[in-house]
Structure 1
Amino acid sequence: MRFTLQPPLLSLLTCRRVLITALIYSLAIIPTKLLLMLLPGAEVRFGACIPVVMGMLWGPAGAVGSALGNFLGDFYAGDSLYVCFWGAVANFFLAYLPYKLWYGFNVDAKTCFFIHDTRSFLKFLVIILVTSLIFASMLTAIVLSMGNTAPLESFFIFFSNNFDFPLLLGIPLLFLLRGSRLTFVLPPVQKKSARPYLLVLLAAAVGCMIFLAAAVAGSPSQQFDDTLFLAATTLLLIYVSHLPANYDPQPFNNDPRFFYSIGAKATTGFLQLAILSVLFIGFSIFITNPALLQTSQQLDLWQTIFTTLLLSINIIFIAVLFILWQTEKKIVQPLIRLSQSARKFAGCQYLTAPAPVPKKSDAGQTVDEIDDLNDSFIKMTADLRRYVSDLSTAIAERETLAAQLNIAAEIQQNMLADTAKINQQLKQYQLFAGMFPAKEVGGDLYDCFFLDDEHLVILIADVAGKGIPAALFMMVTKALLKNNASASPGKILEQTNNTLCENNDSMMFVTVWLGIVHLPSGRLTYANAGHNYPLLQISDQRPEQLCQRSGPALGVYCNLSFSDHTAELPYNSRLLLYTDGITEAENRQHEFFGTDRLAQRFERTHIPEDILFAVLEFSEGAEQSDDITVLWLERQS
């Protein structure tokens, strides 16, 4: 289905459409005028649906073509020019009024798509009813001027032709054309009030009923009175023909899938079923009553047919209207709401759009699968909205925490000893240290500082656990070890331990190895509070562990004493302090790096970085499970 605005009236396209309509209509009415004439000027006209269809399709071109086709048909049948002229005028309005009323009366967003719901179907019924009334009155006036003495019978034939056949044949034709490649013509949009035009249309309809009442009650009208009625009605209809169109063409430009909506399909299906039912009833009456076909009077036969069709249409179409209304209320509208919710969901608009409200159900009220699905979808949308909100909050909090952890990690690294500055003050000694936490912050610790010009304190510590608690405990331990610094490593550990044991409800503890190097002689005095044994290598000899342990980890028991031990650091010797993050590093086969591998690599290497590289190579990309800290002190010759 395609649409275009109304082309100029004198364009080649308009002229071609006028000729096509005139040819089709004249060929349709000539056989019925010759074979099915019931009263003078009044015949059975199956083609009465053509002006409505062509008018809805091509607008002015369809209306002018219908007028021309009727003129040709009447002229071919031998009617006078008076009859031909007024018949053409009446047929013009028969085609043009539905077109103008459809786009100018009770307009909604889907007007362009013809009948698509109960409201549009009722609108089309009203338009055809009003148009048929006016058209039948005008044709009655025309035949009265020809000497017809049966105005009521003639009006009934005209009204039946132009009410029954546009509904029974015109609607299916319009549905068929809507699915074709033909282009429907739209009137230009005008932002004017439609009220004056509708009042004039009402006046024309009332005038037709008055004329019919006078024609039925009085003597046959004179031709002058008939002509005056035709002229007055024509003037009123000319004014009504200027009814402004006020539809919205935007929906079908944006979403052509609109044509095949569930509501339109349901309406189409029910109307087709209704039309078939009316035709079936009509045929059934004559099949079950063959005596009707033997009626000697053709007028009586067709009056029976028209009466049957009118009654069938009224009964069945009213029933269809009720069924369509219930279908839209119970099925189509809930599906439309569900579709809109799904479209918003697919476009992520559910985050910004107002939250849908579930349909309130009274106790004992029945619900169907669509209601259940809609409620489930609303609940899912609400849950997802809440989940996204909670997730956004969690992400924001996590980003804040990550930023704080980065700052904490930077602070922790800055609080560690700067070995580069210490190396500048050392002679014949080289110091290297590094801490690599498993998380943003860690619980390992190393430090080195001068007691005086001849004594250097070196220490390494490992707090139980990882993360922020271990980092805080490590910071406290570092401060205490430095504040308690004295000539005896054992005394330093003893005083630090007593302080850590105070208010240690969390039962955290830390292993510490602390040594004091007498720089001129290389004498090393140390104490070990439960830490890994350091490795000492002298010249090219095999590395040995300093296996003496002074006591347990700090923070467990108060009032412990820690003994001092001594060792020598001769020239060309190296001391390696480390935490269990190295020896307990795992590979993908869950094997530990171990002290033996560390000793072998320490023996072969001459640079501290090689120790870290060996651990990284061994882990084979496995995630680091613990903090890694090393301190390397080398005495050079």
Structure 2
Amino acid sequence: MALENVKDSIENIKIDSTFINDIINGIYDWVRVIDRDNNIIYMNKAMREAFKNYRPGDKCYKVVCKDYPCENCISRKAVFEGETQKKEEIIGGRIYSVMSSPVKNSKGEIIAVVEVLHDITEIKNMQNKIIQQNKKLMDDLKIAKKMQCNFLPKHLPEDKIDFSFIYKPCETLGGDFLDIFNIDDDHVGLYIADVSGHGVSASMLTMFLRSTINKSMPSPAHTLKNLYTDFNRSGFDSDMYITVFYAIIDLKNRRMIFSNAGHNVPPVVFNKNRFELLRVPGIPISNWMDEPTYEDRVIDLQKGDRLFFSTDGIVEIRNKDGEQFGEERLLNILLNDDSEPSSILARIVDSAGEFSSAKSFDDICDDITMALIKIK
């Protein structure tokens, strides 16, 4: 029934020049037809009302207050090239998108061009506002990145440990974080963390971690429990969380006490004659339960021991076949290289970049954080 009504409507409409003219006059955009000599031979109603002093027969460039053809005349270009041309033009302080298309007769000869001018002033203004806002946002992100990087480790007891790290965020701001700091003359605290997500929200969690974690408590487990409590008081969403491995090294007695809040990459203690994964259970810093428990564990250290800490970014790097870099490749480098920590980390970077076929290590899109400590 509906199809029959459509057929009846089509039959009742007389498709003639008057009907076509009514359609074009109903268009909000300006429409005009220009012959090969730049003369206006047609203007629709919207354009006639906007330019009351101009009529068919006038030169097209007179409408835009010029005494000669436009230098970038797309109508002439449409005539010569036989293809639709586009440009933007400012008319009366407004910005217009102009599209000029060739009109051909039955012999295929181009006899005129039809131009459609669409007012895009508001769109352009909005684009400019977005560009300015994005510029301000990028400036703010650069400042935030500088602040985040300034919080990374700097001053350490170099007479007792050798320490090196790599911190590469996927975006301007990262969701990984690490810190190593002096507690007193004989103790060094360190932690490595991975927060949910990337970018600004993730970086805010790293700042919360750094500003909230209590560096004076002798028990990493108690420190993580207090951090969990403070996190819940702050009202973070349930999809936000932080995994943290926290340890305190007793440099005098060469012992390390450590605890874990859900960090899924266990640190490694190794030398030529030993290899230990520092596994300990613990829920991430989150609001997933009321009373989590954290456990302290102790390990004795020896002169020459190395401690490797990382987030999952390095082991999850993939090659073109979807294969992960994995723990085995990582451990193979660690266990077969006796050079200084900075050199070993550089070798890991080179190996991961070669594995992934990335043009550079910076092109690998994931937060990657690693640290290597050598006990002197």
Using structure 1 for the length normalisation, give the TM-score: 0.42
Distance 1:353 1:512, change over 3 A: same
Distance 1:356 1:633, change over 3 A: closer
- Give, as a single letter, the amino acid of the residue that structure 2 aligns with 1:552: I
Tell me, in whole angstroms, the C-alpha distance in 2 between the residues paired with 1:435 and 1:409: 12
Counterpart position of 2:291: 559
Match of 1:520, SS? coil
1:633 aligns to 2:373 (yes or no): yes
Is the Cα–Cα contact under 8 Å of residues 334 and 371 in structure 1 kept in the other structure? Answer: no
Tell me, in whole angstroms, the C-alpha distance in 2 between the residues paired with 1:635 and 1:350: 70
Counterpart position of 1:615: 352
Counterpart position of 2:193: 461
CA drift at 1:596: 1.1
2:307 to 569, 572, 575: 575
CA drift at 1:633: 0.9
CA drift at 1:336: 7.2
Is the Cα–Cα contact under 8 Å of residues 167 and 369 in structure 2 kept in the other structure? Answer: yes
Tell me, in whole angstroms, the C-alpha distance in 2 between the residues paired with 1:372 and 1:386: 27
Tell me, in whole angstroms, the C-alpha distance in 2 between the residues paired with 1:471 and 1:356: 41
Tell me, in whole angstroms, the C-alpha distance in 1 between the residues paired with 2:95 and 2:217: 73
Counterpart position of 2:323: 591
- Which structure: greater helix fraction? 1
Pairwise CA RMSD: 3.3
Is the Cα–Cα contact under 8 Å of residues 484 and 495 in structure 1 kept in the other structure? Answer: no
1:485 to 201, 216, 223: 216
1:470 aligns to 2:202 (yes or no): yes
CA drift at 1:453: 1.5
Superposed, which structure 2 residues align to 1:261-300 within 5 Å? 261=37
Counterpart position of 2:149: 413
Is the Cα–Cα contact under 8 Å of residues 530 and 553 in structure 1 kept in the other structure? Answer: yes
CA drift at 1:393: 2.3
Tell me, in whole angstroms, the C-alpha distance in 2 between the residues paired with 1:373 and 1:523: 84
Is the Cα–Cα contact under 8 Å of residues 153 and 179 in structure 2 kept in the other structure? Answer: yes
Tell me, in whole angstroms, the C-alpha distance in 1 between the residues paired with 2:248 and 2:39: 91
Deviations 1:122-148 (A, max 9, x none): xxxxxxxxxxxxxxxxxxxxxxxxxxx
2:161 to 418, 426, 429: 429
Superposed, which structure 2 residues align to 1:125-140 within 5 Å? none
Match of 2:193, SS? strand
Deviations 1:351-378 (A, max 9, x none): 4753389xxxxxxxxxxxx99944xx21
Superposed, which structure 2 residues align to 1:4-23 within 5 Å? none
Is the Cα–Cα contact under 8 Å of residues 501 and 558 in structure 1 kept in the other structure? Answer: no
1:343 aligns to 2:73 (yes or no): yes
Tell me, in whole angstroms, the C-alpha distance in 2 between the residues paired with 1:356 and 1:524: 69
Counterpart position of 2:227: 496
Is the Cα–Cα contact under 8 Å of residues 171 and 199 in structure 2 kept in the other structure? Answer: yes
Is the Cα–Cα contact under 8 Å of residues 356 and 378 in structure 1 kept in the other structure? Answer: no
Q: How many residues of Structure 1 are paired with residues of Structure 2 in the alignment? A: 291
Tell me, in whole angstroms, the C-alpha distance in 1 between the residues paired with 2:144 and 2:70: 49
Deviations 1:425-469 (A, max 9, x none): 343321112311111111111111122221111110010111010
Distance 1:344 1:634, change over 3 A: same
Is the Cα–Cα contact under 8 Å of residues 451 and 486 in structure 1 kept in the other structure? Answer: no
Is the Cα–Cα contact under 8 Å of residues 455 and 519 in structure 1 kept in the other structure? Answer: yes
Counterpart position of 1:325: none
Match of 2:191, SS? strand
In the alignment, structure 1 segments of 5+ residues that lack a partner are 1-259, 267-327, 358-369
Tell me, in whole angstroms, the C-alpha distance in 2 between the residues paired with 1:353 and 1:585: 56
Tell me, in whole angstroms, the C-alpha distance in 2 between the residues paired with 1:498 and 1:480: 11
Tell me, in whole angstroms, the C-alpha distance in 1 between the residues paired with 2:197 and 2:39: 66
CA drift at 1:410: 0.4
CA drift at 1:395: 2.0
- Give, as a single letter, the amino acid of the residue that structure 1 aligns with 2:370: V
Match of 1:615, SS? helix
Higher relative contact order (CA 8 A, sep 6+): 2
CA drift at 1:621: 1.0
The percentage of aligned residue pairs carrying the same residue is 24
Tell me, in whole angstroms, the C-alpha distance in 2 between the residues paired with 1:262 and 1:563: 85
- Which structure: greater strand fraction? 2
CA drift at 1:390: 2.9
- Give, as a single letter, the amino acid of the residue that structure 2 aligns with 1:392: N
Is the Cα–Cα contact under 8 Å of residues 581 and 627 in structure 1 kept in the other structure? Answer: yes
Match of 1:490, SS? helix
Is the Cα–Cα contact under 8 Å of residues 437 and 627 in structure 1 kept in the other structure? Answer: yes
> Larger radius of gyration, structure 1 or 2?
1
Is the Cα–Cα contact under 8 Å of residues 186 and 250 in structure 2 kept in the other structure? Answer: yes
Distance 1:263 1:477, change over 3 A: closer
Tell me, in whole angstroms, the C-alpha distance in 1 between the residues paired with 2:144 and 2:182: 26
Deviations 1:298-318 (A, max 9, x none): xxxxxxxxxxxxxxxxxxxxx
Match of 1:583, SS? coil
- Give, as a single letter, the amino acid of the residue that structure 1 aligns with 2:132: A
Tell me, in whole angstroms, the C-alpha distance in 2 between the residues paired with 1:347 and 1:625: 38
CA drift at 1:595: 1.1
- Give, as a single letter, the amino acid of the residue that structure 1 aligns with 2:212: L
